Structure 1
Amino acid sequence: MTPTPSYPPKPSPGDRVAVLSPSSGLPGLLPLPYELGLRRLREEYALEPVEYPATRTMGSTPRQRADDIHAAFAAPEIKAVIASIGGDDQITVVPLLDRELIRANPKPFFGTSDNTNLLAFLRETGIVGFHGASVMAELGRPGAMHPQTADSLRAALFTSGEYELRPAERWRDIDRDWADPATFDAEPETRPGTGWIWLNADRVAEGRTWGGCLEVLGWMLMAGRGVARDLSEYDGGVLFLETSEEMPSGEEVFRTLRNMGERGLLGRFSALLMGRPKTWFFDRPRTPVEAAAYAAEQREAVTRAMRAYAPEALVVFDVDLGHTDPQLVIPYGGLVRVDGPARRVTVTY
């Protein structure tokens, strides 16, 4: 049996935290958001970031990245580990990790997207991780951090109690060029929040989380990674999912969820938190009308899969937990309560 995940000790202001690139070494190519994120760690969170050898290295080997992870977890002076950014090949790093070393030195790990690999590994190891807040994308946001991201990250870093997630007051999914210094002269444009959409909201669900970036989970499932051998470990849990800037079609989303259902996985969960989909990227700059149609297509695909394989599950759409801004931190393997009648989502950090 997989050990029940427990929360690792929290850092305190003044502590040192590791900054790693377990996936892509983008800090070496795009230093502007990275350096801004490091500065905010120091100035706004009073934490001292410590870089490791592969952090700014594009094309580093899986072994080099695994060595950085081991060094960060083993170092007694390091109190938390934060990913610089995501990527697409962390799946090659996880088999090289020393589970016993990491289990003996539990620390909070923060990351999203491709870092779903490491978050699932930590959950299997018995450590609650934190899905959210990379250095470049969230801490390095132009102008200022989104206030909801900043508050959620502060609570996840330094506190251990309940924290209520709230719908975004303003949000965005349109990016600007990180290589252009002018990008960082002002905050990005945002849109008014649209609230959450609830399905089967006549019930309350509470349990430990599993999930992450849907595309990455698909890769992991093909490789036989990140899922407990005994699926009953997920019974009553809370699934959370989000899609990336690759913007998979509604049919792709449905097929991935369908396959999870055929495996007997989807129906184990009592609730699903579905992240607000990213609808714009540089190679596909959708108009507002096109973006709204894409988001509606994804909601329909998710609804169709859930009705087929988990018809009783409580579902909340457009939660700000993925590749859009703000990004709320979700404890991976930690506790979440989804209260349909009250329309409230509460996480335990």
Structure 2
Amino acid sequence: MITPAYPPKPAPGDRIAVISPSGGLPGLLPLPYELGLRRLREEYGLEPVEYPATRRMDATPQERADDIHAAFADPEVKAVIASIGGSDQITVLPLLDRELIRARPKPFIGMSDNTNLLAYLYNTGIVGYHGASVMAELGRPVALHPQTADSLRAALFTSGEYELRPAERWRDTSRDWADPATFDAEPETRPGTGWTWMNADQIVEGRGWGGCLEIIGWLLMADREISHDLSDYDGQVLFLETSEEMPSGEEVFRTLRGMGERGLLRRFSALLMGRPKTWDFARPNSPEEGARYAAEQRTAVQRALKAYAPDLLTVFDVDLGHTDPQLVIPYGGTIRVDGFARRITVTY
């Protein structure tokens, strides 16, 4: 396995590619997208560069692959960020030119369905960044969550250690992105509840690998971007989270069981489990219903770990993935988990 290396970082004033490797939602819902572009310019000092498929819902996998190639090949572009996620990025992976991308490594920032491209970059030897998208995080009504803004700034522009901290306030509900009134009010948040630690009598450090659990399951089924030499994952830090589709606890268990039966789960030195999203327009759970769903998921994870990795250092409700705030996780970068001090430190 090629050990992923950190690509050169951009600086304020540089150009950043904005691509839609999954769905072209910017064309359907321009309000959060345009707000996110403005924040890239005004708050981060970067100049967004769009591509032919960025705002196209009907873009083919080849057209999206072409945009990825163009973004990485352009020497004037210093970083790449996804507009949003989706559900079919796995169809783009076979069309990518690994040598073209390897020749011009640069930071890629995305999450959810972009787990596909992050895993691909990992196997290409490039550290990526599981984190903010233009629409969901940069397009947040009124202002970015301060913890999201700080984490993204550190990931974009710095290369040192960064300590992740539990959210002081968080939320997982949303309002209609098509309604201009959505962007007139700060989202409602709840007090933070901290992280929950298990097997915390140890300190581990390793490369980060994982992402959206549903996408990891699809990659396993398609036999893509998962090494057949499981020793490649020895000592690494697994991080996982679930999407707005809110898979049942049983589905979460079955995916983890598949990883366990493959011999994968026991290879990792720690697991960071993201705070699950418990609300969606299709399933507008009450706070009590959401709490039950989150508890069901935690029980499913614990059940799988008991069977396949009972001593694994595990942290639940880490603020990564489909939540707000969203802390950026270096995909292939160094993560240190200190169970004694209850600290998680990443290297951007």
* TM-score of Structure 1 vs Structure 2, range by shorter chain: over 0.9
Instruction: Tell me which residue corresponds to 1:98.
Output: 97
Q: Distance in 2 between matches of 1:206 and 1:229?
A: 23
Letter in 2 for 1:261: G
Q: Which residue of 2 aligns with 1:248?
A: 247
What residue in structure 1 maps to residue 226 of structure 2? 227
Identity of aligned residues (%): 82
CA distance in 2, matches of 1:187, 1:222: 40
Partner of residue 20, structure 1: 19
Equivalence for 2:57 = 58
Equivalent residue letter for 1:123? Y
Structure 2 counterpart of 1:9: 8
1:43-122 to 2 correspondences below 5 Å: 43-122=42-121
Deviations 1:227-254 (A, max 9, x none): 1121101001100000000000111100
Displacement after TM superposition at 1:59 (Å): 1.4
Partner Cα distance (2:195, 2:339) in 1? 11
Letter in 1 for 2:292: A
1:129-157 residue CA offsets vs partner (Å, 9 max, x unmatched): 00001000000000100000000000000
Deviation larger for 224-233 or 64-73: 224-233
Q: Which amino acid aligns with 2:110?
A: G
SS at match of 2:137: helix
Q: Contact (CA 8 Å) 1:276, 1:318: kept in 2 or not?
A: yes
* One-letter identity of the residue aligned with 1:90: Q
Partner AA of 2:193 in structure 1 = T
For the aligned residue pairs, the C-alpha RMSD in angstroms reads 0.5
Q: Render the CA deviation track for 1:195-241: whole Å, top value 9, x for unaligned.
A: 00000011111100110000111111100012112110100110000
Q: Is contact 1:123-1:129 (8 Å) kept?
A: yes
Residue 270 of structure 1 contacts residue 312 of structure 1 at CA under 8 Å; is this kept in 2? no
Q: Deviations along 1:57-100, whole A, 9 cap, x unmatched?
A: 00100000000000000000000000000000000001000000
CA separation in 2, counterparts of 1:162 and 1:224?
33
* Contact preservation (8 Å) 1:276, 1:319: yes
Q: Which runs of 5+ in 1 are unaligned?
A: none
Is 1:347 the counterpart of 2:346 in the alignment?
yes
1:258-273 equivalences under 5 Å are 258-273=257-272
Mapped partners of 2:138, 2:154: distance in 1: 15
Q: Are positions 1:161 and 2:160 aligned together?
A: yes
Q: How many residues align?
A: 348
Residue 285 (structure 1) aligns with: 284
Q: Distance in 2 between matches of 1:8 and 1:337?
A: 20
Distance (whole Å) between structure 2 residues aligned to residue 150 and residue 27 of structure 1: 21
* 1:147 corresponding residue in structure 2: 146
